[in-house]
Structure 1
Amino acid sequence: MALEAEAPMLAAAAPPTTSRSVTETVNGSHCFEIKGYSLAKGMGIGKHIASDNFTIGGYQWAIYFYPDGKNPEDNSTYVSVFISLASDGADVRALFELTLLDQSGKGKHKVHSHFDRSLASGPYTLKYRGSMWGYKRFFRRSHLETSDYLKDDCLKINCTVGVVVSSIDRPILNSIRVPESNIGTHFGMLLENMEGSDITFDVWGEKFHAHKLVLAARSSVFRSELFDGVGENKQEIVVDDLEPAVFKALLYFIYTDNLPEDEKSVTSCSGLRNNVSTFQEILEG
């Protein structure tokens, strides 16, 4: 059997990695009940009643209700409703919805929603504590006082906030610690013990036992020799172009990716000097 030089094997490419940016909203809502509306009315333009602070998306918020309106130009014609950032923030981006609840049970709530316009205008940005989003002309006061939104001198305002957050979605890494590879040691023991060997090489009268699948996986020369249709039935192959020490070193490298410890004695033999290009290219592979 003649062993021909093989082209160096290319190093395996690192597997591709992936990541994904996920932008979504952290949503929450708060219902603000205002009892004694008739007493609050007349407190003055620009004066407000504030809800208790509530937390959504890691920030505190509050609802501001202006019974006589926020804008002096409207002359108390409208009530105003706003949502205010009640904690320190740096460019907090959010979507909002303010709803005046219908207390008649008909479900005809008055809704002002930024969620519906988000695709066109994007989230609203609040840059500091006290920044607000809402409506100066939320509802005409004369209509409010004769509507189903006012019951027993009580109003109910619901506010929904969707704080925009972004994160990087990474694959979950395997939490099991993977030990360092020792496959070469195991295959070396397989060669040394000859367990399960199914092919024998006669090299100048010296016998070497090996495994067809290991040889075929590591060398196209052996794969062709052993699995070409005829070679599958071979149990012994005669090698007459390599010295036993060189062939032993070759087998050792195929199984372990290393030269044997006595490599100096191997490299001094005439057989390796005569086949240095073949052996060198296998080592580089």
Structure 2
Amino acid sequence: MSCASLLSAVIRRGVAGGRAAASPPSASAIVSRPATGSHILRIDGYTNTKSILATGESATSRRFAVGGHSFVMRYYPNGLDDGCADSISLFVDVAGGGNGSGIAGHARFSVLDHAGSPARRTDDASSEVVDFRTHFSGQRSLITREELERSPDILRDDCFAVRCDLTVMDEHLLTVDLDHEAALAADAVAVVPPSDLHRHLAELLWSKEGADVVIEVGDTTFHAHRWVLAARSPVLKAKLSASPSSPATLRLAAMDADAFRALLHFIYTDTLPDDADADADAMARRLLAAADAYGMERLRLICEDRLRRRIAMGNVAVTLALAEQHHCRALKEACVEFLSSPGNLKAAMATDGFEHLKATCPSVLTELVMKQLV
């Protein structure tokens, strides 16, 4: 029974017994509520970080605020010390260091998968409360580098992410009237878990429940939902508007089944499947073309960025042709920059992709020659 209910019961008993009702006693409470918050740190270029930073050396996140105080995360790719040199260490500290007077708290760390869900997290028991005046909270061995590097659900394209869930114990105590209890409850801050909407939509896609669109790609048939397709692609929305019957049937002759399966996965989850193709570069090229064809700008930019970071001698010519055909300015500039070296251009001219470039985009060759002459 709450305090307010108990007081009401005492008053009712006094009235029922024929006695004069006494004024209800006043009541107050001393309240100390911890503040909680989260920060996600993305490591983009993991291989370089472990080459640049030796054991005991760290890189620092941007500042983030919890409970009115400013904190940073410290990332040690080769461990905090020799005792954990084969692991990644991660700690949270008061920003600036040494200014954490009166601040106590604890942190819980999670290594995230590609969908943003915890793939590995520290135990609550390991998240001890520390005084930030003298310590910082963290994990000496969050995950070994060997485990990270053989976990494709965590490390992809040389990138991974970790999350810190931080609880701060405020040094101030608050005295309030119990009438304010509801207001205090409303002001409480909860740690909100990452969105799992993508998982539910993926299950909806592959279970085919409620599907009202049939899509034929070659000899493969897919089942989907009209409202999802229309919301994600203006081109598919137009095609479905022209086919009002239910279930609608779409025939897509310009794609292969594997690429469309990956495209459909992205439409429902806003992520690419981990096993999209054994040749990730080839799949990125096919999906870039599909994204351009179906008006999906975010997917097009994701594929463009992936291809830009993987430019190499064996693929630069075919990538440049693709960039020219689909108006990918940043990708085209990166390819032209790669070929600006006379040695690179000469080597690329000997590849099969260069013949494809000459046949499909002869104007690009003129640009390359002009750049060599400048």
Normalised by the length of structure 2, the TM-score is 0.37
Which has the bigger relative contact order, CA under 8 A and spacing at least 6?
Answer: 1
Say which structure is richer in helix. Answer: 2
Say which structure is richer in strand. Answer: 1
